[in-house]
Amino acid sequence: MMGCEDPPQPSLFYTSFNLDKRVRSNHLLRKVAKVIDFDFVSDEVEHLYGTNGNVSVPPPVILKLLVLLMLYNVRSEREMMDTLPERLDWLWFLGYDLDSEIPHHSVLSKARTRWGPDLFKGFFERIVYQCVEAGLVEGKKLFVDSSLVVANASKDSIVDTHSLSKYFNRAYRELEKRLEDKGDDEVPPEDGGRPPRQNVENSRHVSTTDPEASIMRKGPGKSELSYQAHRAVDGAYGVVTQTLVGPGDENEAHRLMELLDGHHANTGRGAATVVADQKYGTIENFLACDWKGIRAHMSPLTDSQKDKGRRKGIFPSSAFIYDPVADTMTCPAGQTLTLRHRWEQRQSCEYGAKKQVCLACDLRPQCTRSKSSGRTVKRNFEQDRLDKLYNVARSRSARRDICIRQHFMERSFAEAVRYGFKRAMWRGTQRVRIQDYLIAAVQNIRLLVTHGKLKPAAAGAVGRFNSTSKVILSLREVFSTPYFFWPGIVKENTRGVATCPPMTV
């Protein structure tokens, strides 16, 4: 006989209901609650609250709500609070019950404003320290890169500050008045107000919605209002050890030393090797890494300028021989280039040949394109040291690390996209920093609850996976196969093969 469903009749009392039993034993939030301590925030923000008045939502609950906001990539705080009563696992994680009062969404925005980014930076650093204690940070090899974060502002909000039409925009008039009324003592010392612009486009145009965002275009796509997030990722398990947020149009090469210092401060371990792409391969970065005793595995920026444009078919600077005794240089034709300029600020010299000598030289078409003067060559004060560093950067091991870095960092940023990394949820550099700290902390928490049971002694070992699932590849296969390697990357053993642990989802 076919049964029929009776109309639902809600019970007045649920005597046998237990919220803890409704959350499965292997739930991710159970692991997070077991590993992460959120109670520290109460002591950190105690001085920001008064002693009388309305009782606030407990700070640990607010921090948990913000972690849930990123972990489940909820679109907004308002939607977070609307969805909260429907999620039993979220209620259990927060310590709520079915009849608990749900906070208003404005509680989160007020807490972010009151606490500031330093609190979330401290939370991120605590997670990094836990990863170090769990043996997930090796600290020897560090990968760095940056990625653009689309600002929470429309391109329609951009106005031309050199045009009179800006005064017809009400939003710009309010922005200009607000900036004029703000005193110098009210500007945060870290930002100094609106960040300096690196190009003409951003020095002339500004968004009335988010004036701290920069107009940027990466690749063939359209320009967007953006910020730039910089990351340092450890080479053992992919733990994000340092993260920074700045203007979208800043030169990422200037952030390398800050990333290295932050990695050392957060982990207590100095990196022996830093791996980066060619954008970071400036003279200043190579020398600074050498002073710190760090091997720089990144292609020199000068390599991108070889045999291109006006330099195509022209003798490179390395073809000229320097004489330290006479302080001169000798060209491939045997002519002498004498010292012309010396720049102490740039730490470099310029050597040049006479125009008459170059005009009579048979190798002139291969030496210079200039018609008004002879060939000139620039040389850094530390050129001998730079040449040795460049040789290390062009070595086989460096090329292998650079090849691995592309997949390694793309994997880290691709995983961050799952938590809303590519678009800013809030406006302003300080708020985008809070979002970035939370996303990086969530990524590290996922690694901590997945691999945190490993002993510290086994953290740097190659065999962090079952022997039955081991993958053995030749070095040629490693470089020719577009795999996304799991942290641990590729390590060459004594038999000349590379071992790589399998990817886990």
Strand partners, 234: 142
346 & 495 share domain: no
143 contacts: CB under 8 Å, gap ≥ 6: 232, 233, 234, 235, 274, 275, 276, 405, 408, 409
- Strands 240-247, 214-216: pairing is unpaired
Cα separation of 410 and 416, whole Å?
10
12 domain residue, yes or no: no
Residue 476 pLDDT: 33
446-483: burial string, b at 16+ Cβ within 10 Å, e else? bbbbebbeeeeeebbebebbeeeeeeebeeeebeeeee
Whether 155 and 251 have beta carbons less than 8 Å apart is answered as: no
Cα separation of 421 and 150, whole Å?
9
* Boundary of a domain, candidates 333, 349, 381: 381
148 & 275 share domain: yes
CB atoms within 10 A of CB 72: 17
Split into its structural domains, the chain has a count of 4
10 domain residue, yes or no: no
348 & 417 share domain: no
157 & 180 share domain: yes
Q: 48-88 pLDDT, tens per residue?
A: 998 888 889 999 999 999 999 999 999 999 999 999 999 99
289 & 186 share domain: yes
Whether 286 and 303 have beta carbons less than 8 Å apart is answered as: no
Residue 487 pLDDT: 42
Residue 162 pLDDT: 66
7 domain residue, yes or no: no
Helix (H, G, I), strand (E, B) or coil at 471: strand
Cα separation of 216 and 197, whole Å?
11
446 domain residue, yes or no: no
C-alpha distances (whole Å) from 294 to each of 143, 288, 393 are: 13, 9, 12
Residue 124 pLDDT: 96
Strand partners, 468: none
496 domain residue, yes or no: yes
124 domain residue, yes or no: yes
Whether 246 and 255 have beta carbons less than 8 Å apart is answered as: yes
- Scanning 148-199, the segments in alpha helix (DSSP H) are 170-181
Cα separation of 216 and 52, whole Å?
48
319 & 410 share domain: no
DSSP state of 371: S
220 domain residue, yes or no: yes
66 & 43 share domain: yes
163 & 182 share domain: yes
Residue 335 pLDDT: 84
Residue 38 pLDDT: 94
* Boundary of a domain, candidates 115, 144, 173: 115
125 & 256 share domain: yes
Q: Residue ranges of the chain with pLDDT lower than 50?
A: 183-197, 454-505
Residue 463 pLDDT: 31
* Boundary of a domain, candidates 96, 115, 134: 115
Question: What is this structure's pTM?
Answer: 0.79
Tell me the two tokens of residue 225. Answer: 């209002």
160 & 258 share domain: yes
Domain of residue 104 covers 19-115
40 & 81 share domain: yes
Whether 106 and 425 have beta carbons less than 8 Å apart is answered as: no
Helix and strand totals (H; E) in the chain: 17, 16
Helix (H, G, I), strand (E, B) or coil at 304: helix
164 & 124 share domain: yes
5 domain residue, yes or no: no
Residue 215 pLDDT: 87
- Scanning 219-302, the segments in alpha helix (DSSP H) are 256-267, 283-291
- Strands 214-216, 158-160: pairing is unpaired
Strand partners, 145: 231
